[in-house]
Amino acid sequence: MTFDAFTAPHSAAYINAQRDFWWNSDYLKLLAARLHLDRVRCALDVGAGAGHWGALLLPMLATEARILGVERDPRWVERACERAAELGIGERCEYGQGLAESLPFEDEAFDLVTCQTVLIHVADVAAVVAEMRRVLRPGGLLLVAEPNNIAGMLVANSTTRDQPTDQLVEKVAFALTCERGKAALGEGDNSVGDLLPGYFADAGLVDIQTFLNDKTLALVPPYVTPAQQALKAAMLEDAAEGLWVGWSPDEAKRYYLAGGGVEADFEPQWQRRLQETHELARQLSRNQLDTAGGGIQYVVSGRR
């Protein structure tokens, strides 16, 4: 399913085929064993998007387990239902509209409450964590997957390995200014993953554990794996639409100014970001771009 660029639902640059390849299946099995996910019979996926995270977790749960997903955008609810039917899990996965800040469920309703890259988009992380804890049964597990996105700005690829220091510093500073502006506007902290164990502790959760996703978004020509093909397609689409790290120029400018950036500095810096994006696309199209593609994606868990 595709969406018009001007009417696309939130996070459309990231809720696509590449999301199926963010995790190694054996890693998820190891995580499930460590956290005893096979005991889970009723799970809630908060901010479910198109249902990718729930579909990956479902095989790790009890054989009779069901997943309920809530998502604020009705277009993603529709797509999640479609995907579940396509995957043959429609009877076990149900999706509806709902807000992370006000979950439409009674207290102590679920064995597992989980989300993936949702807390980076909320204004009050503490309030959402408290709300997710509210609907957990005693002994239930809160499990979230959230990144530190700013760290990825320092991951080199074959086009940036010799980038002058001042250019690299400018890119990181630009991204950090935008991230802080996004947070200041109440639209979420893109690197909130670093802070989640503290939020869990403040919410009264216990047995808090933190893991790192072992999957990288590597690109090695000629990009023959499905994961690399999906990532390549997403990167080329972003370049064609004039996006940088999924942001349009209007979004980036709002964030940049809210983060303390100087308006006169925005346009020249934005143009340099687009030049970098287009160079990546050019190298991709020629099968010349390579990178190990590392990043920081945390998995944080705690029990009620």
Instruction: Tell me how far the alpha carbon of residue 233 is from its chain's centroid.
Output: 18
The pLDDT value recorded for residue 171 is 96
The pLDDT value recorded for residue 18 is 85
Of 69, 42, 23, give the one whose Cα is nearest residue 136: 42
Ranges of each domain in the chain: 1-149+191-216+295-304, 150-187+220-288
C-alpha torsion angle, residues 178, 243, 21, 146 (rounded to 10): 10
The pLDDT value recorded for residue 117 is 96
Of 217, 203, 194, 200, give the one whose Cα is nearest residue 146: 194
The pLDDT value recorded for residue 16 is 74
How far apart, in Å, are the Cα atoms of 104 and each of 71, 133, 164, 291? 11, 13, 51, 43
The pLDDT value recorded for residue 205 is 98
Whole-model pTM over 0.85: yes
Q: Regarding beta strands 93-97 and 110-116, do their DSSP bridges make them parallel or antiparallel, or are they unpaired?
A: unpaired
**Separation CA 132–CA 182 (nearest Å):** 23
Of 129, 114, 132, give the one whose Cα is nearest residue 53: 114
Fold of 1-149+191-216+295-304: Rossmann fold (3.40.50)
Assess contact for 195 and 208: CB atoms under 8 A: no
Assess contact for 17 and 9: CB atoms under 8 A: no
Instruction: Tell me how far the alpha carbon of residue 161 is from its chain's centroid.
Output: 26
The pLDDT value recorded for residue 280 is 95
**Separation CA 129–CA 241 (nearest Å):** 34
Assess contact for 213 and 300: CB atoms under 8 A: no
What are the pLDDT tens digits along the chain (304 aa)? 444 434 556 666 566 778 889 999 999 999 999 999 999 999 999 999 999 999 999 999 999 999 999 999 999 999 999 999 999 999 999 999 999 999 999 999 999 999 999 999 999 999 999 999 999 999 999 999 999 999 999 999 999 999 999 999 999 999 999 999 999 999 999 999 999 999 999 999 999 999 999 999 999 999 999 999 999 999 999 999 999 999 999 999 999 999 999 999 999 999 999 999 999 999 999 999 999 999 999 999 999 9
**Separation CA 205–CA 219 (nearest Å):** 38
